[in-house]
Amino acid sequence: MSADQLNAFLLKVSGDRALQQRLRVSDAATAAELAAEAGFDVTVGDLIRYKARATTWQLSDAELAVVAQWQPHDQPYWWQYIWPIG
């Protein structure tokens, strides 16, 4: 995981309302794609690990991508609620 890349991406998003809106409706794969489009090396695994960073077990990016696919389609993600609407 590149915490620096994820933190830099989140910093960029914090100043970009259009990107915030796009991220708010993104699933894990789309959020990783948005990060890549913005020039950041952020994976699905990075995004999922950020939410679960306090856990002591570790999964690979490939394993976390499978976990993300298992999530219900209406599953909220932390990046969808980090910035206020409006």
- CA angle, corner 80, sides to 76 and 85, nearest 5? 125
Range of the domain at 55: 3-76
CB 17 within 8 A of CB 82: no
pLDDT at res. 55: 54
Q: Give pLDDT, residue 13.
A: 92
Domain-located, residue 56: yes
**Is 83 contained in some domain?**
no
Q: Backbone dihedral region of 60: left (phi > 0), alpha (psi from -120 to 50 degrees) or beta?
A: beta
User: What is the pLDDT, as a whole number, of residue 83?
Assistant: 79
Residue 52 pLDDT: 66
In a domain, 47, yes or no: yes
Comparing CA positions, the residue from 5, 3, 37 lying closest to residue 18 is 37
Amino acid occupying residue 25: V
Per-residue confidence (pLDDT) for residue 35, from 0 to 100? 96
The total of structural domains in the chain comes to 1
The answer to whether residue 8 is domain-embedded is yes
Q: What is the pTM of this model?
A: 0.63
Full pLDDT tens readout for the chain, 86 residues: 477 898 899 899 999 999 999 998 999 899 999 999 999 999 988 888 776 664 546 677 887 787 777 777 777 777 888 877 76
In total, the chain counts a number of residues equal to 86
SS3 label, residue 55? coil
